[in-house]
């Protein structure tokens, strides 16, 4: 493989902790996506194969999107039980920015900060650096990219199943190698994983071209409900609880459908509002053309990445739409005022 001189390496402490651990449980965030599952399953699989010790993952079954179930089949890693969690020598928390987002039973998440058993590996710039040891790389495309580096650092051989898990996370977090986080490094790693046995077309078929009838019905509804504002620079769609039930989908099926309003030309802020249960609204936000939406999410207690963030809000769908869209309009106005002010400064100073 070509030299990747600009790459950061995982800390010796993280590698050491993994080598010394007697047992490992890997955990991700609530509403898991392919990056989170790929990182948790990939690390657990590779670690148990090499250390010849017990590894498991803690994931709430019902929260797994139907189209990502295949990842469990290829990983062949067992699900942790409460005893595993209590007795685990190390708990690797992956792709999760803060303790409240960890997919663990409530009583377990209260003691996360400074917990001597926790390793925290993530690429969210909002990561609060919880746990005993952390490795946070903001410019990594995905957490799967970081797990790849960890496995390389440990000199593990990456078997085809582990490679497929990691590839799936990199592929989806980069939007099929189409988003601004599609770095040369991400592509190098994807190429290496392909050489190790991944079939890119198989992965794409599983995650992009395997939409079931309920999910397809939901997509029709998302197209139908798409609205624009501010001359098309804001586009959003809504899914009511009724829409969700009627389509036959569950809240776990909502992941990247915000790509529907996002796909229109000229959009800088895209949003999808889903009433996941009556009175509870989940909002997925995306920024295009360098527009950051993490601040918008943070205004309402949410978070995420600069250009991909989320919020949970109580109340009606209509109320959530009003609050978020108004805030988005204000944000765009402020941004254009700033740009105008900068232009004027440049003109008046003769640049």
Q: Site residues (CB under 5 A) for Mn ion?
A: 35, 95, 142-143, 173
Using an 8 Å Cβ cutoff, are 125 and 156 in contact?
no
CB-wise, 243 or 255, nearer to Mn ion?
255
DSSP conformation class of 102: B
Query: CB-wise, 181 or 215, nearer to Mn ion?
Result: 181
Residue closer to Mn ion (CB basis): 35 or 256: 35
Q: Over 54-78, what HEC string results? A: CEEEECCHHHCCHHHCHHHHHHCCE
Residue by residue, DSSP assigns 109-159 as: HTT-TT-TTEEEEE--TT----SSEEEE-TTSS-HHHHHHHHHHHTT----
Whichever of 51 and 127 has its CB closer to Mn ion, that residue is 127
CB of 175 to Mn ion, least distance (A): 12
Query: C-beta of 176: minimal distance to Mn ion in Å?
Result: 14
* Nearer of residues 96 and 274 to Mn ion, judged by Cβ: 96
How near is the Cβ of 190 to Mn ion at its closest, in Å? 15
Give the nearest distance from C-beta 139 to Mn ion in angstroms: 13
> Is 116 in contact with 13 (CB distance < 8 Å)?
no
Question: Which positions ≥6 away from 25 have C-beta within 8 Å?
Answer: 44, 55, 56, 57, 58, 80, 84, 85, 88, 90, 91, 92
Using the minimum distance from each CB to Mn ion, give the nearer residue, 31 or 240: 31
| Cα separations in angstroms, 224 against 236, 243, 323 | 11, 11, 22
Q: In 277-292, which positions are buried (b, 16+ CB within 10 angstroms) versus exposed (e)?
A: eeeebbbbbbbbeebb
- Burial pattern 252-265, b for ≥16 Cβ within 10 A else e, equals bbbbbbbebbbeee
Residue nearest to Mn ion (CB): 35
Tell me the two tokens of residue 312: 């949970």
72, 40 Cβ separation under 8 angstroms:
no
Give the residue with the Cβ less far from Mn ion, 143 or 238. 143
Which residue from 69, 122, 115 is spatially nearest to 93, judged by alpha carbons?
A: 122
CB 33 → Mn ion: shortest distance, Å?
A: 7
Nearer to Mn ion, 28 or 251 (CB): 28
Orientation angle between helical segments 143-153 and 184-195, nearest 10 degrees: 60
Shortest Cβ distance from residue 14 to Mn ion (Å)? 18
What would the two tokens of residue 59 be?
Answer: 């994931």
Min separation Cβ 169 and Mn ion, Å: 7
Q: How far is the CB of 92 from Mn ion (least distance, A)?
A: 14
């Amino acid at each position: 493989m070509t030299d990747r001189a600009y790459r950061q390496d995982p800390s010796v402490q993280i590698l050491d902790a993994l080598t010394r651990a007697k047992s490992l449980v890997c955990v991700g965030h609530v509403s898991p996506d392919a990056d989170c599952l790929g990182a948790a399953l990939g690390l657990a699989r590779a670690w148990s194969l090499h250390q010849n010790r017990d590894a498991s993952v803690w994931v709430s079954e019902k929260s797994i999107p139907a189209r990502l179930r295949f990842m469990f089949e290829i990983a062949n890693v067992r699900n942790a039980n409460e005893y595993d969690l209590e007795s685990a020598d190390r708990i690797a928390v992956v792709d999760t920015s803060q303790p409240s987002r960890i997919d663990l039973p409530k009583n377990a998440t209260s003691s996360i900060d400074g917990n001597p058993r926790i390793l925290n590996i993530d690429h969210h710039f909002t990561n609060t650096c919880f746990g005993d040891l952390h490795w946070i790389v903001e410019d990594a495309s995905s957490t799967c990219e970081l797990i790849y580096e960890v496995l390389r650092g440990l000199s593990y051989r990456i078997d085809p199943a582990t490679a497929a898990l990691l590839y799936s996370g990199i592929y989806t977090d980069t939007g099929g190698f189409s988003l601004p986080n599609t770095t040369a490094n991400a592509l190098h790693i994807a190429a290496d994983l392909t050489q190790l046995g991944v079939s890119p077309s198989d992965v794409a078929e599983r995650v992009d071209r395997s939409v079931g009838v309920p999910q397809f019905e939901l997509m029709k509804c998302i197209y139908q409900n798409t609205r624009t504002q501010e001359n098309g620079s804001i586009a959003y769609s809504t899914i009511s609880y009724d829409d969700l039930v009627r389509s036959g989908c569950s809240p776990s099926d909502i992941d990247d459908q915000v790509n529907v309003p996002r796909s229109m030309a000229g959009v800088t802020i895209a949003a999808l509002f889903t009433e996941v249960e009556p009175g509870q609204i989940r909002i997925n936000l995306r920024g295009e053309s360098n527009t950051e939406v993490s601040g918008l999410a943070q205004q309402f207690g949410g978070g995420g990445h600069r250009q991909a963030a989320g919020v949970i809000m109580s109340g009606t769908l209509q109320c959530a739409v009003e609050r978020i869209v108004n805030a988005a309009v204000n944000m765009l106005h402020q941004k254009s005022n700033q740009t105008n002010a900068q232009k004027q400064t440049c003109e008046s100073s003769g640049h």
